[in-house]
Amino acid sequence: MPGGNTSNIIADKRGLAGGTRSVTLVTAHLDSVNHPAHGPDDPAAPAPGADDNGSGSVGVVEIARVLKDQSSTQDLRFILFGGEEQGLFGSKHYVRQLPAAERTLIKSVVNMDMIAVLNTNSPTVLLEGGDPVSKNMIAGLSSAAHTYTKLTVNTSLDPHDSDHVPFIGAAVPAVLTIEGNDDANHNIHSANDTLNHVNHDLALEILRMNTAYVAGEIGVQTSLTG
């Protein structure tokens, strides 16, 4: 990417089914950035990124922890993308280099970006995807939210500005799961995006929804509780 290099971190959990297996992706971006209100970005400026996107990155690791010992029939892949803030470099590269045969095996992509700041009166999640490629995913995630959480669910079919977008552009089902009314979070991209603004209960609710949905996609053989 301009000015240097970045990396994607990828981990796989293999399913037990024989033959060709589908794969579900759980993703987030690992980088953070400080965008000054005036002037160019300063790479040396403090960018703690607790919500954007420490929260999503921790979410990927937590779902991996919960599912690592669960037997499943289908494959599961965890990806932490680099270079998202500079222009989705990591996810664009990943989608671009995928062989067509491998791309067709992707059943769904659950992307987490900013899942831990409460900007609404009640805990709310926005499910953002493409029309029509993400509609079944949005329905499935909504069902998981209503079954396992107390989240209010909002939806959008106008995907932009996160790592689900390159997948949707390649006709791969993908949905961004993000805190409700994220535009009201004015601490991101600054030195103020710190842990004291994080709402752990909201993050856990969104993770419950995502974990339940992913478990269903990969055919987890045992029930998940707690």
State yes or no: cis peptide before 192, omega within 30 of 0: no
Residue 122 CA to residue 157 CA, distance in Å, equals 22
Compute CA distances 207 → 17, 32, 43, 81, whole Å.
26, 21, 31, 19
List CB contacts of 37: < 8 A, sequence separation 6 or more: none
List pLDDT tens digits, range 179-208: 999 999 999 999 999 999 999 999 999 999
Section 168-189 average pLDDT: 97
Query: Which of 166, 169, 189 minimizes the C-alpha distance to 79?
Result: 166
Instruction: Please report the pLDDT score of residue 43 as a whole number.
Output: 80
pLDDT value of residue 36: 79
pLDDT in tens, 69-115: 999 999 999 999 999 999 999 999 999 999 999 999 999 999 999 99
Where is 127: in which H helix or E strand?
Answer: strand 124-129
pLDDT at 224: 55
**Which domains are assigned to the chain?**
9-218 (3.40.630.10)
Distance (Å, whole) CA 104 – CA 150: 34
The predicted-structure confidence for 24-72, as pLDDT tens digits, reads as follows 999 999 999 998 777 777 788 999 999 999 999 999 999 999 999 999 9
Pairing of strands 152-156, 9-13: unpaired
Predicted confidence at residue 223, as pLDDT, reads 57
Catalytic residue among 84, 85, 179, 217: 84
135-148 vs 200-218: helix axis angle to the nearest 10?
Answer: 120
- Provide the pLDDT confidence category of residue 120 given band limits of 50, 70 and 90: very high
Q: Distance from first CA to last CA of the chain, Å, rounded?
A: 41
178's enclosing H/E stretch is strand 174-179
pLDDT at 119: 97
Instruction: Find the helix or strand (DSSP H, E) in which 146 lies.
Output: helix 135-148
Q: Given this model, what pLDDT does residue 40 score? A: 76
- Residue (of 29, 19, 17) closest to 76 by Cα position: 17
164: pLDDT strictly greater than 80: yes
163: pLDDT strictly greater than 60: yes
**Helix spans in 6-82 (H):** 56-67
C-alpha span between 40 and 156 (Å, rounded): 31
**Is residue 84 annotated as part of the catalytic site, yes or no?**
yes
Radius of gyration for the alpha carbons in the chain, expressed in angstroms and rounded: 17
Q: What is the pLDDT of residue 222?
A: 59
